[in-house]
Every structure is written in structure tokens, then in C-alpha cells.
Amino acid sequence: MKIEGHEPGLAQDKIVLQRGDERTPITFLATALPMGFVEGIEADISSPVPRIIGFKKKIGGGMLLGPDRKPIEETEINTPAFKQKVEAANLLQSTIMVTKGLESDPAVSFDTNREECDSAADYATKINKEMADFGLSGGDFNYVLKEILRISNPSLKKMEAIREGFLSEAE
């Protein structure tokens, strides 16, 4: 694809991470996630699917039936164990997104090599540990992720400005 007057490439922006203490803020150079990247992560690190653990019951007893007159299945979706599995998968997926978003920053590097890991989940677990060992808090991690997603998906206001700029250049 070519767009006259524009260089190809993903959007980049600086992320300034203010720490909660007196240390100097950390500035990252972040790059937008390429199209289809999130879907690829979800294929590599799948979210758990809730198991059927029984059937819903009426208050007075007996199985609760759906409009099709079949028993309504009850899944583990609201159990603490399942919620923990979802959170764990989300953390691993998010870690891959942050790693990809910071890939172009020459100041950021990780000791873990993807090719040396058994799976994407193993890689994400090791990268997440490196981030924690460096001293990034959960809040720091979430802020960096949010900013990478912002760069990847401009807000409606920013999209409107881009659209207006595109239209004015087209005139």
C-alpha cells in the first residue's frame, strides 16, 4: 500500500512512566501493534474455556429448562479458579503486547530469547518475571500497556484529526 505524502510504518510515540517515588521517570519509545497481532497472541496463548459443571436448578428443585425445553448448563465461569485462569492468560497475552510495543526502543532489552522458550506462554512468563525483577509494579505495567494500546488505536478525537488532515491533503 502507498499513500502519497506518507511514509509507511507503524505509529510511534514516547511513553513517560512516572514512578511513585523520587526516581527519574522512565521514557519508552513505543510502537503500535501491527494489524492482526492481537489475534495472533490469542492463537498462541488461548484464553481458557469454561467447563460445564452441571445444570442450573430451580429454587424448588429440578432442572431449569431453557426456551428449547432442554436443561440450562452451568459452567465454571464464575468460580474463583476459572477467574484466576482467565487473569493468568490475560497477563501473558498483555506481556507479549508490551514486549512487542517496546521492541523498537533501543534502550529496552530482555535476557529471555523467544527461540529458547518452549512456548509463547513460557516466553511471556519469563519476560513478565524480568519486568517484575526490574521493579515494574502492576500499575506500571498496566500504564505502559494502556499507552501502547492508545498508540495502536487512536482515540476518536485523534482519528477525527487524522481524517481531517487526510481530507485536506486530498483537496
Question: Where residue 167 falls among pLDDT bands split at 50, 70, 90?
Answer: low
Segment 54-79 shows an average pLDDT of 90
Alpha-carbon distances, residue 134 vs 23, 86, 130, 140 (angstroms): 14, 25, 6, 11
Mean pLDDT of the chain: 88
Please report the domains of the chain, with CATH numbers, ordered by start residue.
12-48+86-170 (3.30.2220)
**What angle (nearest 5°) sits at the alpha carbon of residue 26, between those of residues 24 and 28?**
160
More confident residue, 20 or 125: 125
Lowest mean pLDDT segment, chosen from 75-79, 82-86, 161-165: 161-165
Helix H, strand E, coil C: the string for 101-112 is HCCCCCCCCCCC
What letter does residue 8 receive in the DSSP assignment?
A: -
> Does the pLDDT at position 159 exceed 70?
no
Looking at residue 156, its pLDDT comes to 47
> Does the pLDDT at position 21 exceed 80?
no
